C-alpha cells in the first residue's frame, strides 16, 4: 500500500516536472502554418463584445493562418487577473494595458515584448510615445479620451470677446473669463476643478513638474509651481463659483454649462452627449497652457507578452487592433471610444459629426500630453493630500504658499513609503 502510494507520487512528480518543462521551453523560430493566439481584454466588457468580434473576424479573414482566441475579463477584476497570470506565466499572447502606470509596471518587469514592426507614422505621436521606453516601442495605444476647453459661443458673443484658439495662453483665458463674468446675473466666465488631476497638468503647462527627476520627492515648491496653484485657486470667487456656491460637487460644472450660465468649462470629451440639446452654440478648443501646451489624456494600450510563443503573430494582431481600417471604422461607427491613428481623412466620419465643430481639437490635444506622474504604492493618498491642500487654499483657510508647503512635506513622506 505504502509502496504504491510512493510510486504514484513519484509518477505525479515526474509528470509535473515534464509538464512545466514543456511549458517553459521557448519557441524562437518564426511562425509557419496555422497558429492560435490568445487575447485577454477588458475594453469590450459590457456593450462592446459584438464590436470586438467584428474586428477579430476581419483580422482572421485577412490572416487565414492566425486564429484569435478572445477572453474578456470585467474591468473591475482585470488588474488581479493580470497579476495572477503574469505570476503563473499564463498571460495571453496579447493583452490589454490599463493606461500609462500599468504600462510602466509591466515594462519595468520585463513582461512586454519589444514591438519591432510598428509604422510610427500611422499613430498619433503623443499617444504612441506614451507606450515607449528609451526610444523603444513596447506597446501600442488602442483608444483614448482627453480633457479640452468647452466654450459657450453665445456668452462670448454677448460680451464681445473673441473665441478661444489653439494659440491662447492662461492670460487670454483669464482676460476673457473676467470680461464675461457677471455675478449679478449668475453668469461665470470659467470652471476648472481644484484637484490634483488639474494641478499636475497645470504644472506641465507652466514648465514645472509634480515630481523631481528621480521621482523621489515632490517638485512643485518652485515659483512656477506656485503660479500653477494660483492659476487654479484664484479662479474661485473671481471668474468661477466658490465652494459655498456648490463648486466641486457632482455634475455642478456640466449643469452650470447646460444652463447657459458658464462661458468656459475644462472637462473631458466624454460629456459631448450632455450638451447635444442645449439651446446655445458651443465648441471646444485645446486647453490653453502658460509656457507650453499640454493636455490630460487617458488611453488604453495593447501589448505582447514577452513569453509568448507566437510573438510575430501576436504583434500582427496588436497592430491590427490598434490601427487597422476595420478597427478604426468599427470604433467610429459605434462610438466605441476614439481610435489612436493620425490620418484625419480616416477620421472624417467623427470629425464631421456635428457639434462641437472643432472635433480636431480632441486629436490635437493628444499630441502634447501632460503625462500623469507615477506616484507608486501611495498614489491615492498622495492625490488626496494634494487635492485637500489645494482646497484649503481655495477656501481661504491657508495661503497658497502654506498649502503647498504642507502638501510637499506630506507627499515627500508618502513617496518615501
Partner 1 sequence: MADASIAVRAPKRRGFRTPEARTRLVLAIILHVVIIAGALAMFFPFLWTIITSITPGANLTNTPALIPASPSLGAYGKLFTNLPFAQVILNSLILACVTTVVQLVTSSTAAYAFSRLPFRGQNVVFGIYLATMMIPLQVLIVPLFVELKTFGLLDTYLGALLPTLASAFGIFLLRQAINQVPRELDEAATIDGAGHFRIFGQVILPNIRPALATLVVFSFMGSWNSFLWPLIVLRSPQLQTLPIALAGLQGQYISQWDVIMAGSVVSILPMLALYVFAQKYVIQGVASSGIK
Interface ranges with partner 1 (CB under 8 A): 16, 19-20, 40, 42-43, 45-47, 71-77, 80-81, 83-84, 87-90, 98, 145, 250-251, 270, 300
Nearer to partner 1, 72 or 340 (CB): 72
Phi, psi angles (nearest 5°) of residue 320: -60, -45
Q: Which residues contact 76 (CB under 8 A, 6 or more apart)?
A: none
Nearer to partner 1, 91 or 173 (CB): 91
Nearest approach, Cβ of residue 270 and partner 1 (Å): 6
Q: How far apart are CA 97 and CA 105, in angstroms?
A: 10
Nearer to partner 1, 98 or 392 (CB): 98
Nearest approach, Cβ of residue 203 and partner 1 (Å): 25
Nearer to partner 1, 47 or 345 (CB): 47
DSSP 8-state secondary structure symbol assigned to residue 198: H
Nearest approach, Cβ of residue 350 and partner 1 (Å): 17
The label of the residue with cell 456668452 reads 155
Nearest approach, Cβ of residue 106 and partner 1 (Å): 17
- DSSP state letters, 343-409: -TTTTHHHHTSSSSS-THHHHHHTTSB-PPP--GGGHHHHHHHHHHHHHHHHTTSS-HHHHHHHHHH
- 3-state SS, residue 190: coil
Nearest approach, Cβ of residue 76 and partner 1 (Å): 5
Nearer to partner 1, 27 or 79 (CB): 79
Q: How far apart are CA 39 and CA 317, in angstroms?
A: 9
Nearer to partner 1, 144 or 170 (CB): 144
Nearest approach, Cβ of residue 80 and partner 1 (Å): 7
* Burial call 383-412: b when 16+ CB within 10 Å, e when fewer: bebbbebbbbbbeeebebeebbeebbebbe
- DSSP state letters, 140-167: EEEEEEEEEEEEEHHHHHHHT-PPP-TT
Q: How far apart are CA 409 and CA 407, in angstroms?
A: 6
Nearer to partner 1, 110 or 335 (CB): 335
Q: How far apart are CA 300 and CA 282, in angstroms?
A: 29
Q: 255 with 133: CB under 8 angstroms?
A: no
Nearest approach, Cβ of residue 87 and partner 1 (Å): 5
Nearest approach, Cβ of residue 391 and partner 1 (Å): 19
Nearest approach, Cβ of residue 15 and partner 1 (Å): 9
E strands present in 121-263: 132-133, 136-137, 139-152
Nearest approach, Cβ of residue 282 and partner 1 (Å): 22
Nearer to partner 1, 74 or 186 (CB): 74
Q: How far apart are CA 209 and CA 397, in angstroms?
A: 25
Nearer to partner 1, 300 or 387 (CB): 300
Nearer to partner 1, 39 or 231 (CB): 39
* Burial call 121-154: b when 16+ CB within 10 Å, e when fewer: ebbbebbbbbbbeeeebbbbbbbbbbbbbbbbee
Amino acid at each position: 500500500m505504502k509502496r504504491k502510494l510512493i510510486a504514484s507520487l513519484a509518477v505525479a512528480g515526474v509528470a509535473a516536472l515534464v509538464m512545466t518543462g514543456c511549458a517553459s521551453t521557448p519557441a524562437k523560430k518564426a511562425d509557419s502554418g496555422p497558429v492560435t493566439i490568445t487575447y485577454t481584454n477588458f475594453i469590450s466588457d459590457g456593450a462592446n463584445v459584438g464590436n470586438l468580434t467584428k474586428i477579430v473576424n476581419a483580422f482572421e479573414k485577412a490572416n487565414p493562418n492566425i486564429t484569435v482566441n478572445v477572453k474578456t475579463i470585467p474591468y473591475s477584476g482585470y488588474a488581479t487577473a493580470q497579476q495572477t497570470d503574469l505570476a503563473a506565466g499564463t498571460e495571453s499572447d496579447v493583452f490589454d494595458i490599463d493606461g500609462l502606470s500599468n504600462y510602466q509596471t509591466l515594462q519595468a518587469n520585463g513582461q512586454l515584448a519589444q514591438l519591432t514592426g510598428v509604422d510610427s507614422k500611422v499613430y498619433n505621436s503623443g499617444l504612441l510615445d506614451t507606450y515607449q521606453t528609451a526610444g523603444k516601442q513596447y506597446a501600442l495605444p488602442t483608444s483614448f479620451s482627453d480633457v479640452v476647453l468647452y466654450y459657450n459661443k453665445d456668452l462670448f458673443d454677448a460680451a464681445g470677446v473673441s473665441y478661444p484658439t489653439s494659440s491662447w495662453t492662461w492670460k487670454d483665458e483669464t482676460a476673457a473669463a473676467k470680461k464675461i463674468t457677471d455675478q449679478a446675473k449668475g453668469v461665470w466666465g470659467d470652471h476648472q476643478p481644484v484637484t490634483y488631476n488639474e494641478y499636475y497638468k497645470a504644472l506641465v503647462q507652466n514648465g514645472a513638474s509634480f515630481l523631481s527627476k528621480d521621482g523621489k520627492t515632490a517638485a512643485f515648491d518652485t515659483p512656477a509651481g506656485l503660479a500653477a496653484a494660483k492659476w487654479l485657486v484664484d479662479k474661485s470667487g473671481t471668474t468661477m463659483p466658490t465652494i459655498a456656491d456648490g463648486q466641486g460637487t457632482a455634475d455642478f460644472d456640466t449643469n452650470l454649462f447646460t444652463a447657459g450660465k458658464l462661458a468656459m468649462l475644462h472637462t473631458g470629451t466624454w460629456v459631448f452627449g450632455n450638451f447635444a440639446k442645449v439651446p446655445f452654440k458651443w465648441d471646444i478648443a485645446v486647453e490653453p497652457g502658460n509656457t507650453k501646451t499640454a493636455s490630460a489624456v487617458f488611453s488604453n494600450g495593447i501589448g505582447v507578452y514577452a513569453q509568448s510563443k507566437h510573438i510575430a503573430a501576436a504583434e500582427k494582431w496588436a497592430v491590427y487592433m490598434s490601427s487597422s481600417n476595420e478597427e478604426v471604422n468599427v470604433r467610429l461607427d459605434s462610438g466605441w471610444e476614439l481610435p489612436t491613428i493620425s490620418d484625419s481623412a480616416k477620421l472624417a466620419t467623427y470629425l464631421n459629426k456635428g457639434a462641437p465643430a472643432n472635433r480636431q481639437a480632441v486629436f490635437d490635444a493628444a499630441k502634447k500630453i501632460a503625462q500623469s506622474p507615477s506616484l507608486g504604492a501611495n498614489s491615492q493618498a498622495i492625490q488626496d493630500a494634494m487635492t485637500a491642500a489645494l482646497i484649503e487654499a481655495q477656501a481661504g483657510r491657508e495661503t497658497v504658499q502654506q498649502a503647498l508647503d504642507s502638501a510637499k512635506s506630506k507627499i515627500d513622506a508618502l513617496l518615501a513609503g
